[in-house]
Structure formats: structure tokens, C-alpha cells
């Protein structure tokens, strides 16, 4: 199962972590894994490209782990972009969870 944990501070996403494997299909054909990876890495790349904010990114060597932290010193204008992109990612992950809840769990703190 993929576990997604979203941590907020002052109602803003400050960090998210993905861990585990969906195992919803054979290696290379796991649609849940592919969807979650596409959504999360797409959001991270969008933040890096469109907001020019240097996120702290930690990844596992063999996949199955991603932790992204938003730095504290982000200017307000850039933070608005970061939050919009991360909230969009969260909506997409929750959409995947609604359809495939035996393979992904999304929680917010």
C-alpha cells in the first residue's frame, strides 16, 4: 500500500511524504503506482519550474519513498503558487484513493 501523509502549518502544506508500494499489478503495469508517481513528481516539477522555490526533496534509492518539504522563507507571491500546485496534487491523489483505496491511503495532519 502507498501511504501519503500531508503535513500542514497555518493551513498550508509544509511537507508531504509518500511511502510503500501499491502492488496493484505486475511490475511495470501497476496503474496506481504510475498514477501516484505521475501526480506527485509532476507537482514537484511544476513547483520547481513555475515558482522557482527550492524544495527539500528526499527519495529512497529503490523507489517507494518520497518526502518533500517547503522551506520556511518562501516569499508570499511564490508561496501562493506552491500551495496551489500542491493542493492540486492532493486533490489528484485523493481522487486516486477514492477509486483504489485498497492500494493507497491519504491522510492529512
In the structure, how many helices (H) and strands (E) does the chain have?
2, 5
Looking at residue 62, what is its pLDDT?
A: 78
E strand or H helix that includes residue 80: helix 76-99
User: Catalytic: 33?
Assistant: yes
| Active-site residue, selected from the candidate residues 2, 6, 22, 33 | 33
Measure the N-to-C terminal CA separation of the chain; round to a whole number of Å.
19
pTM of the model as a whole: 0.94
User: According to the model, what pLDDT value does residue 94 have?
Assistant: 98
DSSP state of 45: H
Options 3.40.640.10, 3.50.50.60, 3.30.70.1490, 3.10.350.10; which CATH number does 2-102 get?
Answer: 3.30.70.1490
Choosing from 14, 21, 67, 81, the catalytic residue is 21
90 is catalytic: no
- Average confidence (pLDDT) per 10 residues, the chain, 109 residues: 97 97 91 96 97 95 91 95 98 98 97
- Judged by DSSP in three states, 7 sits in strand
Amino acid at each position: 500500500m502507498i501511504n501519503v501523509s500531508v503535513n500542514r502549518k497555518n493551513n498550508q502544506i509544509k511537507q508531504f511524504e509518500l511511502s510503500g508500494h501499491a502492488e496493484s499489478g505486475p511490475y511495470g503495469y501497476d496503474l496506481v503506482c504510475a498514477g501516484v508517481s505521475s501526480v506527485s513528481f509532476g507537482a514537484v516539477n511544476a513547483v520547481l519550474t513555475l515558482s522557482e522555490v527550492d524544495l527539500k526533496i528526499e527519495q529512497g534509492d529503490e523507489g517507494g519513498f518520497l518526502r518533500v518539504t517547503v522551506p520556511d522563507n518562501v516569499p508570499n507571491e511564490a508561496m501562493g503558487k506552491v500551495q496551489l500546485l500542491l493542493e492540486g496534487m492532493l486533490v489528484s491523489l485523493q481522487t486516486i484513493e477514492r477509486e483504489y483505496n485498497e492500494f493507497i491511503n491519504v491522510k492529512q495532519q
